[in-house]
Structure 1
Amino acid sequence: MKKRYIELHLHLDGAITPDIAKDLAALQKIKLPYKDERELEKALMVSKDCRSLNEFLECFKLPCSLLQTKEGIARAVYLVQENIKRQDVVYAEIRFAPQLHMDKGLTMREVIESALDGLKKSDLKCNLILCCMRMADNREQNLETVKLAKEYLINEESNKDYGVVALDLAGAEALYKTEQFIDVFKLANELNVPFTIHAGEADGAESVKKAVEFGAKRIGHGVRSVENLALMKALSEKKICLEMCPTSNLQTKAIEKIEDFPIREFMKLGIPVTINTDDMAICGTDMGHEMNLIRNKFDITDNEESEIYANAVRYSFAKNKIKKQLMEVQ
């Protein structure tokens, strides 16, 4: 039977393949400074000897430079959807930070509306997550992101089925601690905007604990939660879903080797887990590869794989009628 996948943790700028990059460059009349395909691939993919998350984040410079116009953003969202559709993904939540796409004068509102335009063009139905960023002097931009997320939010009462569904906090977790962003999530809670938070990747279990205290419905990565049994029990009791990304965690050194990936520990305690690519182009992976990796390394059974898919449906930010449809196509 053909496998079906759901991707809850996918960064737009991390999903720009060489083919998509060339398409975006041609569309916007941008000359790429690479003499051949190999050089372009090298610029877009993380090196095998990547030493940290901060080094990993350097790979976003080129794709971000191609996502600074309305046409580029809309086209990128469409092309990423078409690419993952070919990989048997039936639903995805694509995330991006509007504030990182304003270098050529776009407003945050224009960035979001451009992404929504791209979303409509594919017959693979996806939703958007807006990222706030871990940076030194961007409090106002983060708060504006929250307010715009509220304005464009799709929920059960909406007449639209697809659009913006949640917020996130991304960026250099070890440099800018989760606790520094309490006001961002205070506002999100006041406005009833659901959110996930990158935590427990480059920073320890305390980061995840703070994200849970803030009210995160899901945790991006969360692998360092394994360092604290009480925290793991809390994740299980509160049914907070982990968006796990094995290949990415290896490349950013969140784990030293694949055997350290704590999926079995989490599943044993009843923590809901999902499997995702994170940055499929930068990581050089896809959902089929990620699922095969954990299946082979951790003896994941067919029933467990079905449960991982069901978790992705259950803990997605999609409307209930969309969740029902997704359960039927598994």
Structure 2
Amino acid sequence: MRKFIDLHLHLDGSVPFTTVKKLMREHNLPVPSDQELRQELSVDSSCKSLDQFLEKFALPNQLMQTRHDLETIVYDLLTELKEQGLVYAEIRFAPQLHTKKDLTQEDAIKAAIAGLNKFLKDQKQENDSRPELHANLLLCLMRFADNQNENKETVELAKKFLNKGVVGIDLAGAEGPIPNIEYKPFFDLAKKLGVPYTIHAGEADGPDSIRQALAMGAKRIGHGIRCTEDSELTQELIHDQIILECCATSNMNTKAFDQIDSYPIKKLLHKGMKVTLNSDDMTVSNTNLPHEYKLLEAKTDLTPEEETTLYLNAVDAAFTTPDEKIRLRALIQK
């Protein structure tokens, strides 16, 4: 069975369909037909922008406001990822989005870690010949106008739970209205606290957003695909070996890129760019990582050798331990 690593996977955009139905029943919400529910959770070819894409997160977020919700979703998602052949994943979520009822940000983080730990414990007890799936959490800061306190708290909590299930932070949300550089103080704090980070850039907004992320010290860029609009920036990314967390289907959905046949991950790979392939939002984009690889094999002639390089780039980029990286590199040779 093939092995996969997903470094860019949003929890709220990847709640398994069966888990959504289960939690809707538990919360006594009316459950529509499967077709209607899929339309509410997933985009189709008519999606015109990132903002329209983000509308699909409303229902999942409603189902992520209790400890039980979050623990269940993390556990169920990891179970699904294991079945797909993943051997390592970094799952990101914004704890400040899960405080609409009685949870604090810290409560939300503890619930997600509980789901992760329960999966890891149960996996150890299974009689399963497949490689183990290891996973960690990234905490997202959000691009809102008036959430400075919440973002600072997220950074501080990332430090508190660092290497206890959490391995870094991210900056997410609608890209464009507020420049990335406005959030530099939070990433300066993360750097001071020794918290690794990645930053969404170069998706809905262009090359300048990537330059701002680099100015903030990012060594990993969420998406970053629009670097292709600036050859000088592309060369800088290659020279500095900055990791791009590419998400092909998602980029089509949000119109960051318009033709899958000319999706540039293969071209960037051959230029020496440290690119990786990821799923982003499995449920919203109706995809998963094995599907992403098959899609690029069919549409861009991605080869097994190139896929191995993508995998090894992901190992290098992962916010994990040297021992885990040794395990992941060894798996590709089996």
Tell me, in whole angstroms, the C-alpha distance in 1 between the residues paired with 2:216 and 2:118: 35
Q: Give 4+ residue runs of structure 1 displaced > 6 Å after superposition.
A: none
Tell me, in whole angstroms, the C-alpha distance in 2 between the residues paired with 1:267 and 1:261: 12
Partner of 1:149: 158
Q: 1:90 aligns with which of 87, 92, 110?
A: 87
Q: 3-state SS of the aligned residue for 2:176?
A: coil
What displacement does 1:292 show? 1.1
Tell me, in whole angstroms, the C-alpha distance in 1 between the residues paired with 2:30 and 2:43: 18
Partner of 1:135: 144
Tell me, in whole angstroms, the C-alpha distance in 2 between the residues paired with 1:328 and 1:22: 38
Aligned residue identity for 2:214:
V
Q: 1:178 aligns with which of 144, 163, 180?
A: 180
Aligned residue identity for 1:150:
K
What displacement does 1:193 show? 0.8
Partner of 2:199: 197
After superposition, residues 1-330 of structure 1 pair within 5 angstroms as: 2-26=1-25, 29-122=26-119, 123=123, 124-154=133-163, 163-330=165-332
What displacement does 1:33 show? 3.4
Alignment: residue pair count: 320
Tell me, in whole angstroms, the C-alpha distance in 2 between the residues paired with 1:116 and 1:249: 29
Tell me, in whole angstroms, the C-alpha distance in 2 between the residues paired with 1:217 and 1:295: 28
TM-score norm. by structure 1 comes to 0.94
Tell me, in whole angstroms, the C-alpha distance in 2 between the residues paired with 1:31 and 1:47: 28
String of CA shifts for 1:183-235, please: whole Å, max 9, x gaps: 11111111111100000000000101111111112111001111111211111
Which stretches in structure 1 are left out of the alignment for 5+ residues?
155-159
String of CA shifts for 1:80-114, please: whole Å, max 9, x gaps: 00011111111100000000000002111101001
Which stretches in structure 2 are left out of the alignment for 5+ residues?
124-132
Preserved contact between residue 266 and residue 302 of structure 2 (Cα < 8 Å): no
Aligned residue identity for 2:44:
S
What displacement does 1:293 show? 1.3
Tell me, in whole angstroms, the C-alpha distance in 2 between the residues paired with 1:265 and 1:307: 13
What displacement does 1:260 show? 3.9
Tell me, in whole angstroms, the C-alpha distance in 1 between the residues paired with 2:44 and 2:148: 32
Identity of aligned residues (%): 45
String of CA shifts for 1:155-210, please: whole Å, max 9, x gaps: xxxxx6xx100100000012222111111111111111110000000000010111
Q: 3-state SS of the aligned residue for 2:27?
A: coil
- The alignment's C-alpha RMSD in Å is 1.2
Preserved contact between residue 17 and residue 44 of structure 1 (Cα < 8 Å): no
